[in-house]
Structure formats: C-alpha cells, structure tokens
C-alpha cells in the first residue's frame, strides 16, 4: 500500500510538470528545481528514461546547466532547451537532429555540405549567396545542432534588430509547402544561427571586430520555388 501511495504521488507530480509534445517528453526546469525531496523525485521521474543512481549528478548538472547541454542514455537523449528538459527516443531524434561537435561534422551530415574556418583579414569578402553562411566563429558554441524547424522557433534575420517567428518569415518569403516541410536550421545554444540555404541570424554576422569566420556552403541545394 505504501508503494501504491508513492507511485500515485510520482504520477501526480509528473502530470503537473511534464507534457507530451509530439514524440518529445517535456519537463519544466523551474518545476524540477523546486521538487522536494528533490533527489528521490528526480530519480523516480527519470528512471524510465535510463537514468540510474550513478547518473544523478549528471542529471542535476543538465537541469542546472546551459541550453544545449545533453545527457544520453542507451535509449533516450535528454536536452536542456531554454527552460525545458526535452526527452526523446534516440531513434526519433536521429531523424530530426544531427549533432555538430566539430567543423568536420558538417560533411558527415551531408556530402553536399562543406565547412571551414578562415581568418578575417582586410581583404576578406563575405559571400552573397544564400547557400553560403558566413558566421562569426567565436560566437558559436559546440555542439551545434542541425534540426527541423518547429512552431515557436524565432530568430533575428540578418539586418534586423527585432525577433521574428520562423512561421511568419516563411509566409513573408513565400515558402512553398514542401520547402517549409524540408527546412532545416542550424542551432547553437538554443539560438538559431542559420536557416540553411537562406538567411543567417543577425547575432552571428561578421563584424569589423570578427577575427575568425566559419564558412558553410551547401552544394546542389533544393529549388526554392
């Protein structure tokens, strides 16, 4: 009977601080931080996702860490995303997420993508093609993620000081249904860096003070019509 009481309480706590968003389980970080008794409840909440007693310190670091930090178990991946902990099956994530841990990983994502770091000197020229992203390398943090866009995503389009939702950006730029469905973004620490094959985020543009540029080029990009 005591076990039933505990199980019921854990279920009620989970219902209050957790929602299902598609195939992703979402926990509110502020609610996790306010749990009491914290360690016992965290263990019971995350045990179904492969978190054992030996990983509790790693789980606490993830909850209190910065956006983009991750914890991987045999079957699940836990990601700190702004004010949430996202839990997804690794198989499902592999279809929509690709982790970039170093520059060479761009070519592993697709043979049509190349990337390199260049020093920004006086004769440095910023490419004008939307298939090429020219970014301030020192403002980027690894691992970066290439993923599908999702509703609620927003960024600061190059040349603009105000935030814009991607859904509105797609409408304004007359994205076709298929182009929108196939759209991928590059993300660093929860911030959109580049709508791949289109516009970069203004926060990562090359400035007079920039010392190193990350240049990413996509060959044989899809038709934009």
Sign of CA dihedral 34, 40, 45, 49: positive
**Stretch 144-150: mean pLDDT:** 91
82, two tokens: 């702004």
Contact 100, 143 (CB under 8 A): yes
Q: Which residues, other chains included, contact 62 with Cβ-Cβ below 8 Å and sequence gap of 6+?
A: 69, 70, 71, 78, 80, 85
Q: Mean pLDDT lowest for which of 60-64, 94-98, 120-124, 155-159?
A: 94-98
The interaxial angle of helices 56-64 and 38-46, nearest 10 deg, is 100
From CA 79, how far away is CA 68, in angstroms rounded?
6
Q: SS3 for 61-87, per residue? A: HHHHCCCCCEEECCCEEEEEECCEEEE
The yes-or-no verdict on residue 156 having pLDDT over 60 is yes
Count CA within 13 A, CB hemisphere, residue 171: 5
**pLDDT per residue as tens digits for the range 19-48:** 988 778 999 999 999 998 899 999 999 999
Contact 143, 99 (CB under 8 A): yes
Say what percent of the chain tops pLDDT 70.
94
Nearest to 182 by CA among 194, 168, 195: 195
Contact 32, 63 (CB under 8 A): yes
**Stretch 2-15: mean pLDDT:** 87
Evaluate the omega torsion of the peptide bond into residue 143 and state whether it is cis, within 30 degrees of 0. yes
Contact 80, 65 (CB under 8 A): yes
Of 97 and 51, which is predicted with more confidence?
Answer: 51
Cβ burial 145-161 (10 Å sphere, 16+ → b, else e): bbbebeeebbbbbeeee
**pLDDT per residue as tens digits for the range 161-215:** 899 999 999 999 998 876 887 899 999 988 999 999 999 999 999 999 999 999 9
Task: Quote the pLDDT of residue 222.
Answer: 45
Q: DSSP 3-state assignment of 39?
A: helix
From CA 26, how far away is CA 37, in angstroms rounded?
21
Task: Quote the pLDDT of residue 9.
Answer: 86
Task: Quote the pLDDT of residue 224.
Answer: 46
Contact 172, 180 (CB under 8 A): no
């Amino acid at each position: 009977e005591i076990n039933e009481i505990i199980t019921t309480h854990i279920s009620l706590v989970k219902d209050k601080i957790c929602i299902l968003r598609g195939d992703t389980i979402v926990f509110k970080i502020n609610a996790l931080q306010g749990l009491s008794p914290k360690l016992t409840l965290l263990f019971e909440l995350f045990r179904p996702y492969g978190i054992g007693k030996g990983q509790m310190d790693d789980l606490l670091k993830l909850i209190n860490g910065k956006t983009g930090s991750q914890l991987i178990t045999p079957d699940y991946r836990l990601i700190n995303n702004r004010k949430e902990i996202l839990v997804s099956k690794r198989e499902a994530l592999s279809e929509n997420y690709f982790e970039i841990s170093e520059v060479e990983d761009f070519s592993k994502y697709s043979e049509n993508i190349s990337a390199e770091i260049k020093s920004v000197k006086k004769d440095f020229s910023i490419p004008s093609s939307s298939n090429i992203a020219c970014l301030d390398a020192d403002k980027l943090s690894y691992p970066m993620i290439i993923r599908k866009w999702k509703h609620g995503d927003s960024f600061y389009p190059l040349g603009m000081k105000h935030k814009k939702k991607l859904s509105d950006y797609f409408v304004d730029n007359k994205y076709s249904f298929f182009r929108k469905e196939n759209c991928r973004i590059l993300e660093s620490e929860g911030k959109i860096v580049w709508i791949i094959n289109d516009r970069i985020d203004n926060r990562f543009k090359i400035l007079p003070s920039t010392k190193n540029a990350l240049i990413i080029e996509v060959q044989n990009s899809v038709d934009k019509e």
